[in-house]
Amino acid sequence: MSDHASDFVLQAISFDTLEGWKDDDPSGLFEVMRSCRRQITEVKPYRTGSLGLSSEDLLPLLIAAEDFTPSSRASARGFFETHCRPFLICRNDGSSGFVTAFYEPEIEVSDQPDDVFRFPFYRRPDDLIDLDESNRPAELDQAYAFGRLHDGRVSAYPDRQAIDQGFLEGRGLEIAWAKSKVDVFFVHVQGAARLRYRDGHIGRITYAAKAGHAFSAIGKLLIERGEIDRAEISMQSIRSWLAHNPERVDEVLWHNRSYIFFREAAVADPSAGPIAAAKVPLLAGRSLAVDRLIHTFGFPFFIRAESLTHLDDGRAFARLMLALDTGSAIVGPARGDIFTGSGDLAGERAGTVRNAADFAILIPNAAAGRFD
């Protein structure tokens, strides 16, 4: 069970009272839902979160979506109105939910290091192992999902500072090299990237594993130190501060001990989003990262953020989305990360999203009765 499982309740509501629902167009979700069905039925069901909703609960909705083609935005909404019931996620302390956003950066790289391209993206090392209750040493916190197996002993894996200082050098784990340590760091935060090689071809990397240490936000550090005002914090303001304080870059980046390892991903369709934790391509503006300890991938969430207007041409953000990813900083029942797309423009849109939001989960009819 998640530590947050008792921090909230689900409140049954109607679609008529779901503010913003009648203006949404969820037509683009059906192809993604078909991909989710293939993943669940042909590969592996999604892990069930502590809320108790399973892939089996989701499957009737995905089966119904298989042969449904919406003829209009109203018919797309009607599909969900027929097959689901909405429940508002209410935190017991009365606080609202919160959304940020993420994107897929495009980074210029080289397949060989030189004086310019010096900062590597690493594959998962062979001495990094998954931890569970059967093999986690008593001295490692329960939050550690990965550790190091060396000479028959399991311990914490070296952290960002140790790896930056050369712990993995000489093991042939490098996928590619970037020009900027800061660029590499922000790819770690996003969890995926497009790689533009010097000969022009495009590669892709996506999350494979992490060293295991807790994520520590460097934005929070800079706020606490008085370097950036809380009201001004964003990916852009953090990057600007790092660019103007090069002598302090290592100190600040090493504050976040978490380190991400990647795997190369096929680029069959350059226009498609990256494959994330749910093992299906992300759809820009319609894919949500959630706390997977609580929620289960593939379920629809309606997110309304009154103050988030720059993603929808000045209108309040109000969209049906699918839970398709997760992240170390995404903790809690009403906490989400919106995927804005790939490239620099998507990064500009994502970097300033820090908004209060209402979360409603749509539960397929057969399972909804368990939550009344």
Residues 258, 130 within the same domain:
yes
- Close Cβ partners of 210 (under 8 Å, ≥ 6 residues apart): 145, 146, 258, 259, 260, 261, 328
Residues 151, 171 within the same domain:
yes
> In this structure, how many other beta carbons lie within 10 angstroms of the beta carbon of residue 157?
26
> In this structure, how many other beta carbons lie within 10 angstroms of the beta carbon of residue 223?
16
pLDDT of 371 above 80: yes
189 located within any domain: yes
Residues 73, 208 within the same domain:
no
Question: Which domain-ending residue is among 206, 233, 265?
Answer: 265
- Close Cβ partners of 342 (under 8 Å, ≥ 6 residues apart): 103, 104, 105, 106, 194, 273, 274, 284
Element (DSSP H or E) covering residue 323: strand 317-325
Global pTM reads: 0.85
Mean pLDDT of the chain: 94
Residues 74, 182 within the same domain:
no
In 3-state terms, what secondary structure has residue 72? coil
The 10s digit of each residue's pLDDT in 190-226 is 888 999 999 999 999 988 999 999 999 999 999 999 9
pLDDT for position 3: 42
Residues 213, 297 within the same domain:
no
Question: Which domain-ending residue is among 216, 249, 265?
Answer: 265
Structural domains of the chain, count? 2
Residues 276, 356 within the same domain:
yes
Residues 47, 138 within the same domain:
no
Q: Name the least confident of 1-15, 64-78, 290-304, 326-340.
A: 1-15
- Give the alpha-carbon dihedral of 283, 289, 292, 298, to 10 degrees: -20
306 located within any domain: yes
242 located within any domain: yes
Residues 92, 117 within the same domain:
no
The 10s digit of each residue's pLDDT in 156-168 is 999 999 999 999 9
CA angle at 101 for the pair 99 and 102, rounded to the nearest 5°: 150
* Domain housing 127: 103-265
Give the CATH number of the domain where residue 293 resides: 2.40.40.10
pLDDT of 185 above 60: yes
Residues 179, 133 within the same domain:
yes
73 located within any domain: yes
1 located within any domain: no
234 located within any domain: yes
2 located within any domain: no
Residues 50, 116 within the same domain:
no
Distance in angstroms (rounded) separating the CA atoms of residues 146 and 155: 9
The 10s digit of each residue's pLDDT in 54-73 is 999 999 999 999 999 999 99
CA angle at 98 for the pair 187 and 10, rounded to the nearest 5°: 125
Q: Name the least confident of 163-167, 246-250, 270-274.
A: 270-274
State the alpha helices, DSSP H only, in the chain.
Answer: 29-38, 55-66, 73-83, 160-164, 181-190, 218-224, 235-244, 249-253, 344-351, 365-368
Residues 127, 255 within the same domain:
yes
Question: Which domain-ending residue is among 212, 238, 265?
Answer: 265
Residues 80, 207 within the same domain:
no
Give the CATH number of the domain where residue 177 resides: 2.40.240.50
3 located within any domain: no
